């Protein structure tokens, strides 16, 4: 396994270098032959070369802060147009969780959302194939074929998914949502496809520096991979062997 990974790494480095050379070739001053790296072209499919992940440093996460939650709501349009559902029923793509160690009284705060598992149980149990994992590791619900059975909600150990109980109006263009379907964090797939990072990561102020880092877990040179290599990161319920893409430090 490690031998294979090394082979991939060197191949990727070689490809990366040659891409940089090609990108430097100009037709005329100011016009590049290739668009800069990161953003995929529109007609290119997501690839398993990437595996998008989020690293959350709980030491930097302020317990009074919910900027990641509100940023997610603004971007994806949830949390304001479900007027008939009660608080148990309302969608919750990302939530802040407070932890307290009863022995020491030590308190921690951290955001929890879909953990984008490598082996997602929600995908295993879905009877229609609506619950799916993209090649780049982002776990999504295809609402076109979701029948609203909610097996995935029962299968998810992170309580990451919500069901829409009522007709909605005023959905965001980037995040279609509707009655009778299940939904969850999409890792802001629309932003990722455009070369950006999720709204929560972008909005996170942190205490002294950001508490959230987004990046490609497969790319050894990405900030997230470097941080994970240096400081390590924990998976919530690692014992389940789901290998989530969202990792935590300080828990």
Partner 1 sequence: MSIRRVVAGLPLIMAGLLALPLSTHAGDAPQVAKGKGDACVEPTDVIRKNHMDLLKHQRDDTLRRGIRTKKHSLNECLECHVQPDESGKVARIDSPKHFCSTCHTYAAVKLDCFECHSDLPKSMNKSAYKHKLTPDNKHHASMQSAPVSRQMLDAIANGEAK
Site residues for partner 1 per CB under 8 A: 40, 42-46, 66, 69-70, 73-74, 77, 79-81, 83, 86-88, 90, 92, 95-98, 132, 134-136, 140, 142-144, 167-174, 176-179, 181, 189, 193
CA atoms of 194 and 188, how far apart (whole Å)? 10
**Residue number with CB closer to partner 1 (91 or 228):** 91
Q: Cβ neighbours of residue 87 under 8 Å, at least 6 residues apart? A: none
Smallest gap from Cβ 238 to partner 1, in A, equals: 23
Smallest gap from Cβ 2 to partner 1, in A, equals: 29
**Residue number with CB closer to partner 1 (158 or 228):** 158
| Main-chain phi, psi angles of 199, to 5 degrees | -60, -35
Q: Are 150 and 135 in contact (CB under 8 A)?
A: no
CA atoms of 77 and 172, how far apart (whole Å)? 5
Smallest gap from Cβ 236 to partner 1, in A, equals: 16
Smallest gap from Cβ 193 to partner 1, in A, equals: 5
**Residue number with CB closer to partner 1 (9 or 85):** 85
Closest-CA residue to 127 (of 143, 150, 144, 158): 150
**Residue number with CB closer to partner 1 (27 or 45):** 45
**Residue number with CB closer to partner 1 (218 or 228):** 218
CA atoms of 162 and 150, how far apart (whole Å)? 9
Smallest gap from Cβ 160 to partner 1, in A, equals: 15
Smallest gap from Cβ 7 to partner 1, in A, equals: 26
- Mapping DSSP onto H, E and C, the string for 40-84 reads CCCCCCCCCCCCEEEEEECCCCCCCCCHHHHHHHHHHCCCCCCCC
Tokens describing residue 204: 């996170």
Q: Are 175 and 17 in contact (CB under 8 A)?
A: no
**Residue number with CB closer to partner 1 (90 or 218):** 90
Q: Cβ neighbours of residue 231 under 8 Å, at least 6 residues apart? A: 249
């Amino acid at each position: 396994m490690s031998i294979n990974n090394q082979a991939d790494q060197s191949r990727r480095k070689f490809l990366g270098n040659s891409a940089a050379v090609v990108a430097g070739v100009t037709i005329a001053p100011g016009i590049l032959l290739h668009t800069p790296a990161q953003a995929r072209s529109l007609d290119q499919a997501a690839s398993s070369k990437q595996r998008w992940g989020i690293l959350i440093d709980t030491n930097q996460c302020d317990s009074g802060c919910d900027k990641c939650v509100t940023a997610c709501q603004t971007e994806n349009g949830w949390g304001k147009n479900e007027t008939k559902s009660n608080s148990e029923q309302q969608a919750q793509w990302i939530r802040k969780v407070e932890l307290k160690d009863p022995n020491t009284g030590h308190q921690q705060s951290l955001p929890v959302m879909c953990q984008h598992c490598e082996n997602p149980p929600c995908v295993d149990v879905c009877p229609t194939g609506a619950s799916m994992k993209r090649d780049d590791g982002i776990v999504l619900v295809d609402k076109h074929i979701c029948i609203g059975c909610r097996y995935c909600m029962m299968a998810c150990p992170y309580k990451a998914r919500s069901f829409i109980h009522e007709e909605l109006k005023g959905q965001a263009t980037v995040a279609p949502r509707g009655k009778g379907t299940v939904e969850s964090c999409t890792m802001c797939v629309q932003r990722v496809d455009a070369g950006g990072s999720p709204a929560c990561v972008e909005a996170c102020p942190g205490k002294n520096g950001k508490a959230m880092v987004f990046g490609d877990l497969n790319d050894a040179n990405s900030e997230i991979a470097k941080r994970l290599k240096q400081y390590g990161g924990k998976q919530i319920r690692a014992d389940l062997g789901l290998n989530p893409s969202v990792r935590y430090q300080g828990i």
